[in-house]
């Protein structure tokens, strides 16, 4: 029992909720309006792991193509947690489950490094980890985001696992939801069975799929948010209707048949936003320029862990002092003097041998750099000024959910069918090519014709 301000006492659980209410924050969000964060999420809001996200742009360098796209991973994370709460309420999750998915949703991006997905392939190649692995490590306390000496500026720091445990939340269970239904936290058994559930199964994927799955809080928020800030309306979805039609059924998320149009709209919006924004041709040019500058500054940025712990501005500053090539790329980005696409091919225009060559270049950065430098040398250019980009390989790291359309639909007759049984859109979305082209060749303005001729001989014959 605990004393209150009037001298009375209340039980611990009630005290915890009431105390949490006094530590409530009101968030003014551009997408969801005003909503409140309290309790464990309010404490997490104060951590360096969360606040670092305020300095990492959600869409990397996309603002060079879409001028309004300056929003950050921080605001997105708050929005995702808010959407998770809406989904939990619609599916009638209990209080502990709601807390769990809202916390996991809030923390789902804390492992992102500078410029979000733009540099993730470098972090993966050098350190063997993606942002989800790092997120899991941060949540469990196995990874620290602070660089050497930064802890001196943070008073009374509380570690994320300590905060979670203080509220009776298991950090491992939170971390296990980050990747989706293959996680440990997706398993339920008779020990956690609640009286009154009509859909008991040995394995329940509901919580994991709320955080990461075909229809999840992350995708709903990033589609709405990215559409708003880029000004591209493809991401505007009927999310309230979709969430209203969600059910917990058979150990997973299911959608009532009345929500089918909203579901189709969301999945189509995802594909269109990838084509129109995330894999826009000029967006790809800006990302390639930055990533090539980082790749060729390995003496200054050799440590993948240190690289991941930085924020956007620190990478920009480091590259400016890294050498002539990196400095030139940063200046070109600063004043929007971009490389130009001089050649491209769609998937159906490539032979199997050409696809094999390009796939090999895309998955072996050392081999690709050597190939690019040979193209540059034959074109009369310095190393680094010809780039070969195979966008769809990046998609495997950036958005593994793109082909996930296995979603249960609860018909008006009460029977459950798969999404693909209701509409041919499912198979079309599964096989649709996201990028406008399977490969882009980029170079300096004025060298387009020469490099295109070299590419024709080295790649396309």
CATH of the domain at 286: 1.20.1250
9 phi and psi angles, rounded to 5 deg: -125, 150
Strand ranges in 275-404 using DSSP code E only, listed in sequence order: 340-345, 386-389
How far apart (Å, rounded) are the C-alpha atoms in residues 39 and 119?
A: 34
Q: Tell me: do 448 and 321 sit in the same domain.
A: yes
What range defines the domain where residue 392 resides?
Answer: 281-397+437-458
Place of tokens 């009460």: 414
Tokens of 334: 């600063």
| 22 domain-assigned | no
Q: Are residues 222 and 369 in the same domain?
A: no
Cβ atoms of 83 and 90 closer than 8 Å: no
Are residue 126 and residue 240 in the same domain, yes or no? yes
Residue 180 has which token pair? Answer: 């989706």
DSSP labels, 225-260: HHHHHHT-GGG---HHHHHHTEEEETTEEEEEGGGH
Is residue 102 situated within a structural domain?
A: yes
CATH of the domain at 74: 1.10.3210.10
Total structural domains in the chain?
A: 2
Question: Domain check: are 171 and 250 in the same one?
Answer: yes
Residues 182 and 331 in one domain: no
Maximal C-alpha separation, the chain? 85
Measure Cα distances from 120 to 186, 267, 333, 439 in Å.
27, 24, 19, 19
Same domain, 156 and 218: yes
Q: How far apart are the first and last CA of the chain?
A: 79
Distances (CA, A) of 213 to 21, 140, 222: 31, 22, 14
Say if CB 63 and CB 69 are below 8 A apart: yes
Q: Is residue 424 part of a domain?
A: no
Residues 350 and 250 grouped into a single domain: no
Are residues 76 and 143 part of one domain?
Answer: yes
Evaluate whether 49 touches 63 at the Cβ level (below 8 Å).
Answer: no
The reply to whether 253 and 104 lie within a common domain is yes
User: Which pLDDT tens digits describe the chain residue by residue (461 residues)?
Assistant: 333 334 333 333 433 443 444 578 999 999 999 999 999 999 999 999 999 999 999 999 999 999 999 999 999 999 999 999 999 999 999 999 999 999 999 999 999 999 988 888 887 777 667 888 899 999 999 999 998 889 899 988 999 999 999 999 999 999 999 987 754 334 433 333 333 344 445 688 999 999 999 999 999 999 999 999 999 999 999 999 999 999 999 899 999 999 999 999 999 999 899 999 999 999 999 999 999 999 998 777 666 678 889 999 999 999 988 889 999 999 999 999 999 999 999 988 999 999 999 999 988 889 999 999 999 999 999 999 999 999 877 665 556 666 677 899 999 888 999 998 888 888 888 778 778 788 999 999 999 999 999 999 999 98
The three-class DSSP label of residue 35 is strand
Q: Are residues 387 and 318 in the same domain?
A: yes
Q: Answer whether residue 58 is part of any domain.
A: yes
Is residue 177 in a domain? yes
Tens of pLDDT, residue by residue over 122-163, are 877 776 678 888 999 999 999 999 988 898 999 889 999 999
Final residue of a structural domain among 252, 279, 306: 279
Residue 250 lies in a domain: yes
Q: Of 279, 312, 334, which closes a domain?
A: 279
Q: Assign 38 to helix, strand or coil.
A: coil
Residue 331 burial (C-beta neighbours within 10 Å; 0-12, 13-18, 19+):
exposed
d(CA 457, CA 275): 29
pLDDT at position 41: 97
pTM of the model: 0.88
Residue given tokens 């996991």 in the structure block: 104
Among 251, 125, 260, residue whose Cα is nearest residue 188: 251
* CA-to-CA separations, 446 to 334, 380, 386, 439, in angstroms, rounded: 20, 12, 12, 20
CA distances from 240 to 236, 244, 259, 372, 433 (A): 11, 6, 10, 48, 28
Q: Is the four-CA dihedral 96, 99, 105, 106 of positive or negative sign?
A: negative
Residue 178 shares a structural domain with residue 145: yes
Is 12 a member of any domain?
A: no
Helix (H) or strand (E) holding 27: strand 25-29
Asked which of 260, 279, 298 is the last residue of a domain, the reply is 279
Say yes or no: 143 and 235 in one domain: yes
Would you say 297 and 326 are in contact if contact means Cβ atoms under 8 Å apart? yes
- Considering only CA atoms, which of 120, 106, 115, 116 is closest in space to residue 217? 106
**How far is the C-alpha of 337 from the C-alpha of 174, rounded, in Å?**
44
Q: For the chain, how big is the Rg over CA atoms in Å?
A: 24
Q: How far is CA 405 from the centre of its chain?
A: 18
What pLDDT, on a 0 to 100 scale, did the predictor assign at position 66?
98
The distance from CA 2 to its chain's CA centroid, rounded to whole angstroms, is: 42
Q: Identify whether 302 is part of a domain.
A: yes
* Nearest in space to 222 (alpha carbons), one of 269, 183, 283, 289: 269
The DSSP letter of residue 66 is S
């Amino acid at each position: 029992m605990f004393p209150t301000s009037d001298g009375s006492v209340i039980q611990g659980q009630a005290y915890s909720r009431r105390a949490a209410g006094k530590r409530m924050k009101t968030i003014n969000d551009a997408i969801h309006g005003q909503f409140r964060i309290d309790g464990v999420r309010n404490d997490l809001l104060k951590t360096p792991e969360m606040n670092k996200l305020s300095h990492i742009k959600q869409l990397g360098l996309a603002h060079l193509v879409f001028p309004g796209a300056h929003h950050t991973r921080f605001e997105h994370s708050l929005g995702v947690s808010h959407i998770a709460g809406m989904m939990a309420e619609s599916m009638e999750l209990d209080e502990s489950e709601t807390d769990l998915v809202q916390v996991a949703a809030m923390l789902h991006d804390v492992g992102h490094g500078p410029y979000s997905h733009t540099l993730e392939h470098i972090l993966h190649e050098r350190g063997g980890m993606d942002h989800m692995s790092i997120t899991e490590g941060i949540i469990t306390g196995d990874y620290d985001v602070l660089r050497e000496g930064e802890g001196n500026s943070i008073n009374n720091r509380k570690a994320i696992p300590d905060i979670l445990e203080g509220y009776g939340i298991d950090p491992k269970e939170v971390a296990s939801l980050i990747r989706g239904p293959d996680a440990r936290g997706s398993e339920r058994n008779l020990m956690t069975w609640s009286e009154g559930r009509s859909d008991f199964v040995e394995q329940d994927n509901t919580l994991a799929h709320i955080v990461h799955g075909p229809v999840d809080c992350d995708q709903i928020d990033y589609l709405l948010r990215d559409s708003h800030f880029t000004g591209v309306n493809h991401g505007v979805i009927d999310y309230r209707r979709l969430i209203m039609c969600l059910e917990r059924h058979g150990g997973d998320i299911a959608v009532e048949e009345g929500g089918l149009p909203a579901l189709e709209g969301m999945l189509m919006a995802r594909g269109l936003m990838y084509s129109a924004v995330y894999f826009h041709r000029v967006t790809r040019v800006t990302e390639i320029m930055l990533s090539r500058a980082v790749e060729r500054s390995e003496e200054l940025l050799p440590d993948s862990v240190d690289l991941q712990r930085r924020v956007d501005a620190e990478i920009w500053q480091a590259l400016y002092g890294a050498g002539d090539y990196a400095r030139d790329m940063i200046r070109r980005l600063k004043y929007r003097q971009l490389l130009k696409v001089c050649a491209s091919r769609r998937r159906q225009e490539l032979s199997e041998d050409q696809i094999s060559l390009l796939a090999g270049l895309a998955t072996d950065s050392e081999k690709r750099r050597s190939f690019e430098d040979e193209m540059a040398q034959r074109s009369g250019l310095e190393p680094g000024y010809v780039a070969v980009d195979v966008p769809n390989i990046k998609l495997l790291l950036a958005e593994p959910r793109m082909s996930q359309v296995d979603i249960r639909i609860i018909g008006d007759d009460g029977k459950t069918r798969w999404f693909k049984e209701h509409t041919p859109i499912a198979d079309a979305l599964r096989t649709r090519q996201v990028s406008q082209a399977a490969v882009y060749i980029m170079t300096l303005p004025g060298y387009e014709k020469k490099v295109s001729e070299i590419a024709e001989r080295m790649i396309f014959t």
